Copies of this chain bind each other. A is one copy, B any other.
Amino acid sequence: MGRRVCVVITARPSYSRVKSALRAIQKHAGLELELVVAASALLDRYGNAARYIEQDGFEISARVYMVFEGENLVTSAKSAGLGLVELATVFDNLHPDVVVTIADRYETLSTAVAASYMNIPVAHVQGGEVTGSIDEKVRHAVTKLSNLHFVATQKAAERIIRMGEAPNTVFVTGCPSIDLAASILDNPELDFDPFKKYGGVGSLIDLSGGYIVVLQHPVTTEYYESRHQVTETLCAVRDLGLPTLWFWPNVDAGSDGTSKGIRSFRENEEARSIHFFKNMTPEDFLRLIYNSRCIIGNSSVGIRECSFLGVPVVNIGSRQKGRERGQNVVDVKYHRHEISEAIRYQLGNGRYPSDSIYGHGGAGEQIARLLAEVPLEIEKILAY
């Protein structure tokens, strides 16, 4: 029997991001996939990614509810703690040979800490990038707990090595999220009716003349601003009057403020041209993105997948500060006029050429191959 690879999926975007790697691990003869689905990936309020995971033919080894209500600073910390407690039990029952953790969320950190204390090697996907918010602290802390680093860019690799990681543990695989983006390019049309297939709330709007998509998350370190921040975007989008598809935020400190901002806006019936969604299959989501005229908000999708897909992006605020980006991104502050002006600019510009800064496909297979082949060790020491 091959190495047991345990991947912990805790949020809607994380699933999209590693789906190609999951598939490659599942198919690799020398690997056995143990899939743990936890946190907001189990919650209806956040789009219940578990459902799509099972529809995609992955078997779930364990489910762990671990998100505390409150969506504030205290409950984020507590969710991270409870996740750590229970993931330890899960790992104790599944005894994986290596654990894969993704990006920079609190559950990522829980996963890395649990595995580290249990002498299980940790493989980290998407380390070495630079952003704002608490994610920045968490991402690099996870790097220091990890034994293998599967990074998206050359610069990320360099940063990780400068942080003292052994160069032979750092692999520039590209980001597996790009694999999925690449895979839809053969057949990129919007071949489904998002309202029929996914419901959502808000007006049924006509997408035939083009539409924009909003993905805006709260910034934990600007916790008290989240409601104000989303309201600026709502106003900008309302004033433009374009058909708008809006995705609910992740579960994070501040997402309650974001949700309140959205709900209050809707109450006042100012959101006639906006329809709200919680989730889609990763492929449908990417087709929706690809066919949109502009992406607005602060999601890394705008920086990552959209650079490859050439979709114009208006990136708002500090959340992606410092992250490498392509030409497709215009940065603005939390200011409605600045936002709407930037959207107009991007609409005028249209699609950008594809940029492979975050990879060009094949990352998932490379990650699977490396997980099967590289030596798995737990001891490490600062290289200087």
Most chain B CB within 10 A, of A42, A83, A92, A162, is at A92
Find A144's partner among B43, B68, B132, B140 (CB 8 Å cutoff).
Answer: B140
Contact B113 A140 (CB under 8 A): no
A14 at the interface (CB under 8 A from B): no
Which B residues lie within 8 Å of A138 (CB)? 116, 145
A374 at the interface (CB under 8 A from B): no
Q: What does the 1/0 interface line of A247-280 toward B look like (CB < 8 Å)?
A: 0000101001000100100010000000000000
As for how many copies of this chain the complex holds, the number is 4
Q: What does the 1/0 interface line of A283-300 toward B look like (CB < 8 Å)?
A: 000000000000000000
C-alpha gap A45/B259 in the complex (Å): 11
Q: List 17 A-B contacts (CB under 8 A).
A: A42-B70, A63-B92, A65-B68, A65-B78, A68-B69, A74-B118, A77-B88, A77-B113, A77-B116, A78-B88, A81-B85, A85-B86, A106-B117, A138-B145, A140-B164, A162-B162, A321-B381
A: residues with CB less than 8 A from B are: 40, 42-45, 62-70, 73-78, 80-89, 91-93, 106, 109-110, 113-114, 116-119, 130, 132-134, 136-138, 140-145, 159, 162-164, 201, 220-221, 223, 251, 253, 256, 260, 263, 267, 318, 321-322, 378-382, 384
